[in-house]
Amino acid sequence: MKKGVAKKGMATRAIHAGHDNQNDPHKPLITPIYQTASYGFETTEDLAAFYDKTSTRLSEYARYGTPTQRALEETLMALEGAEDAVVTSSGMSAICAAILAVADTGSQIVSLNEGYRGTFKAFDQHLSRLGIHTDYVSLGLDAIKKALDKNVRVLFIEIPTNPFLRLIDLTSAVALAKAKGITTVVDATFASPFNIQPLTYGADLVVHSVTKFLNGHNDTVAGAVLGSKELIEKVRGVRGLLGSNPDAHQCYLISRGIKTFPLRMDAHNRSALQIATYLEKHPKIERVWYPMLTSHPDFTLAQKYLKGGGGIVSFCVKAKNSSQEARFSAASAFLNALTIPTIGASLGGVESLIHQVSVMSYWDMDSAARLKASIQDNLIRFSVGLEDTEDLINDLANALEKI
């Protein structure tokens, strides 16, 4: 890391942290893509020194890391205020590596019952087979407190949650876990380090789908885990042996994307708030969820914990009647009429992405099960991109005319 960068503003950190190439004889401004699987040693003694951690060498084999990857990790550490970090091949591999680093067979996870469904599927379909079971609790400190018993090893919190952008009182939740020696893992993908840095509230590990706001260009999939040196060393061990390292080219693309991260986040925050405010007033909108709207159930917590509401707005369009069929067709008529946002998965990139949540994430469930999870067929999740806000609002207005 360039000297003194860690203490500078977020834009300076995003551009410079991790990219100190002064020792390279060619002094490249941009950290090169080390496209090599293996690294040579002049002598066996050099190799031994590498293993003894007495040499300055970073890499021996690309599954354990590359200089391109370490530059990205140092940038993320500077953004998140973390002692150490590992990047992984996806957000899912970051979550699984974090859990596997701290949980054993027989230990339990307590997770909020609202969040990214892929995470819950990994917990229920795979970690459960290793004897790591998950207890899902409703959002609230009482429910968390009740669930934290002696076998619980991990408290897993997504903030804000997918798709209703809910928040819990992080400081208090972390304190409940700490009192019992339980590790708190926070998935702050939706907020990104621009809007919240959970380690400052005492969380032990933060995970991100770097695919989203951090990379920001909808062109690569990656993840990260950040925290203390001690915990990250354990996560690094899991990542190295499960082989979920991102390759150097992927890391280069993300480092390039991150240079504009604070500028992009500021624009996402502003545009999404403007769009959420617009939608809330529209007669064809039933309800909007955006943390910075006073109507959001967690507005007060959002004021306390978030710098901005982020780039995601969830909303229900009004339907002819309250049947799921009517809700489904109102939402799909609206989505099909949009010309700027693309109907698709993911979020946090410069291109707007939008979808009907019941179809994109809950299509494998029947309608009754979806409703139990509060997923109505007219619920839409909009990842507000960086197109002109005015163009997006005009596009939404025109599409709402069609229903």
Footprint of ligand PLP on this chain (CB under 6 A)? Answer: 90-92, 116, 118-119, 158, 162, 187, 189-190, 209, 211, 221, 223
Cβ closer to ligand PLP: 61 or 363? 363
> Which residues on neighbouring strands pair with residue 136, listed in sequence order?
111
Cβ closer to ligand PLP: 107 or 189? 189
Q: Is 355 helix (H, G, I), strand (E, B) or coil?
A: strand
Question: What residue type is assigned to position 115 of the chain?
Answer: G
Q: How far is the CB of 188 from ligand PLP (least distance, A)?
A: 8
Cβ closer to ligand PLP: 169 or 187? 187
Is 122:115 a contact under the CB 8 Å cutoff?
A: no
Nearest residue to ligand PLP, scored by beta-carbon proximity: 91
Q: How far is the CB of 258 from ligand PLP (least distance, A)?
A: 15
Cβ closer to ligand PLP: 250 or 332? 250
Angle between helices 389-401 and 261-281 (to 10 degrees): 30
Cβ closer to ligand PLP: 222 or 317? 222
Q: How far is the CB of 114 from ligand PLP (least distance, A)?
A: 11
Burial class (CB in 10 A: 0-12, 13-18, 19+), 185: buried
Q: How far is the CB of 380 from ligand PLP (least distance, A)?
A: 16
Give the span between the Cα atoms of 127 and 368, in whole angstroms. 26
Cβ closer to ligand PLP: 227 or 319? 227
Residues 6+ apart with CB under 8 A from 364: none
Cβ closer to ligand PLP: 16 or 166? 166
Q: How far is the CB of 348 from ligand PLP (least distance, A)?
A: 9
Q: How far is the CB of 212 from ligand PLP (least distance, A)?
A: 7
Q: How far is the CB of 324 from ligand PLP (least distance, A)?
A: 24
Give the span between the Cα atoms of 164 and 315, in whole angstroms. 9
Is 273:290 a contact under the CB 8 Å cutoff?
A: yes
DSSP string, 60-110: SBTTT--HHHHHHHHHHHHHHT-SEEEEESSHHHHHHHHHHHH--TT-EEE
Question: What residue type is assigned to position 109 of the chain?
Answer: I
Nearest alpha-carbon partner for 158 in 136, 181, 130: 136
